[in-house]
Amino acid sequence: VLAQLHGGKHPAMSMEMGGDHQQEGSGSPHPSGGRSAPSRRAAGGPSRILRQSHSRLLDGMGGNVDFPYYLINGRLPQSAQVFRAKPGDRVRLRLINAGADTAFRVALGGHRMTVTHTDGYPVEHRDTDALLIGMAERYDVIVTVKDGTFPLVALAEGKGARAKALAVLRTDQGKGLPAPSVHPDELDGRLLPAHSLRPHESVALRDEKPDREIRIRLTGNMKDYNWAFDHQPYSTEHRHAVRQDERVRLTLINATDMWHPLHLHGHTFALTGLNDIGTRKDTAIVLPHRKLVADFYADNPGLWMLHCHNQYHSESGMMTILGYRR
Ligand SMILES: [Cu+2]
């Protein structure tokens, strides 16, 4: 798929993909096979490039890849996982977007969800109908279960009305499942964006001026599939210097026409942009032509990746390193 996105411009990559394809043994036999002739067919397989994706919430393309299936806990909607509960039970749902190229809009039919944590950090509780979750983002929510059968739907944002994953929460002993096409009203209800979540006082970062600011522009486009930071392809030689115990401000300017879920290893930052209220996160969505301002304390020496959590973007170069010693 990565080779397809690169328009076949990366021969080494095409070889690799060809190998995978043969192992899968899908499609017709491939007599030429082997290393001598990685045919165009082997490199390609069926096209998975997503055409005409648009999401109002993400202000542009939802993603780049048209996956054949979307899953919750590895299950197709036709054999959805069923969670059983009693009416009135308070149930915690831990939502993790483990996708590679898909933001999921998540809602539980017939219920509002109370958000208690994001990326493992507690927030002041807020109710919402739905959540938009970027790759690698996590939310913990609590629901008080009503009586009946309720679809938990994860809509692949910007990938069409049929692109969705399903699980079921139910209080009866029935076996019937909601139709895979089920679309609870809550999906179109109120969304609670991450930056509107106030951190719990136990984890709020002090209001302090940064000792160092690192400004990075997100660059690249679909046509060239050259996603990068500051137009530079990823290199292990290039590191953004930080000193231990500094308060660091990352200013990440999205100069592309697409959204990106940006992820920093080893730290949990606070959102400190103009309209932010200090939400603690390690992964945050930045919309096209907007910026993300994130403060953190350099309290964990080492080499840490800063990257887009769209797997196809990071593999294409939207990745860099922050490093500091003890
Ligand atoms: Cu990206």
Q: Please give the pLDDT value at position 44.
A: 62
- Taking residues 93-97, report their average pLDDT: 98
- The answer to whether the CB of 129 falls within 8 A of the CB of 109 is no
Between the CA of 92 and the centroid of ligand 1 the distance, in Å, is: 30
Q: Where are the domains of the chain?
A: 2-44, 77-192, 204-324
Rounded to the nearest angstrom, the distance between the alpha carbon of 307 and the centre of ligand 1 is 8
Distance 309 CA to ligand 1 centre (A): 6
Which residue is it, tokens 């996590």?
Answer: 138
Which of 57, 62, 130, 148 has the alpha carbon at shortest distance from 93?
130
Tell me the mean pLDDT in the region 103-109: 98
User: Is the complex ipTM more than 0.90?
Assistant: yes
Domain 77-192 grouped into CATH 2.60.40.420: yes
pLDDT at position 109: 98
Cα–Cα distance between 276 and 196 in angstroms, integer? 7
Distance 199 CA to ligand 1 centre (A): 26
Pairing of strands 269-271, 280-281: antiparallel
Place of tokens 């809509």: 155
- Distance, CA 66 to ligand 1 centroid (Å)? 16
List the shell of residues around ion ligand 1, using CB closer than 5 Å: 260, 308, 310, 313
204-324 and 77-192 share a CATH fold: yes
Average pLDDT score over the chain: 90
User: In the predicted model, what is the mean pLDDT of residues 290-298?
Assistant: 98
DSSP E strand stretches across 7-145: 82-84, 90-96, 104-108, 113-118, 121-128, 131-133, 138-144
Assign 175 a pLDDT band (cuts: 50, 70, 90): confident
Q: How far is the CA of 112 from the centre of ligand 1 (A)?
A: 30
**Which of the two residues, 189 and 14, has the higher pLDDT score?**
189
pLDDT in the model for residue 52? 86
Minimum mean pLDDT range among 23-37, 236-250, 267-281, 311-325 = 23-37
Per-residue buried b or exposed e for 165-184, using 16+ beta carbons within 10 Å of the residue's own CB: bbbbbbbeeeeebbeeebbb
- From ligand 1's centre to the CA of 318, what distance in Å? 7
pLDDT higher than threshold 60 for residue 8: yes
Q: Tell me, in angstroms, the distance from the centre of ligand 1 to residue 308's CA.
A: 5
CA of 101 to the centre of ligand 1 (A): 9
The CATH class of 204-324 is mainly beta
In the numeric block, which tokens belong to residue 147? 């009586």
Q: Which of 18-27, 116-125, 183-192 has the lowest mean pLDDT?
A: 18-27
Dist. CA 97 → ligand 1 center (Å): 15
How far does residue 320's CA lie from ligand 1's centre (Å)? 13
Gap from CA of 314 to ligand 1 centroid (Å): 7
pLDDT digits (tens, 9 = 90+) for 22-44: 333 333 333 333 333 334 444 56
Of 298, 273, 296, 300, give the one whose Cα is nearest residue 205: 296
What is the average per-residue pLDDT within 166-176? 93
Q: Using one digit for the tens of pLDDT, what is the confidence trace for 260-280?
A: 999 999 999 999 999 999 999
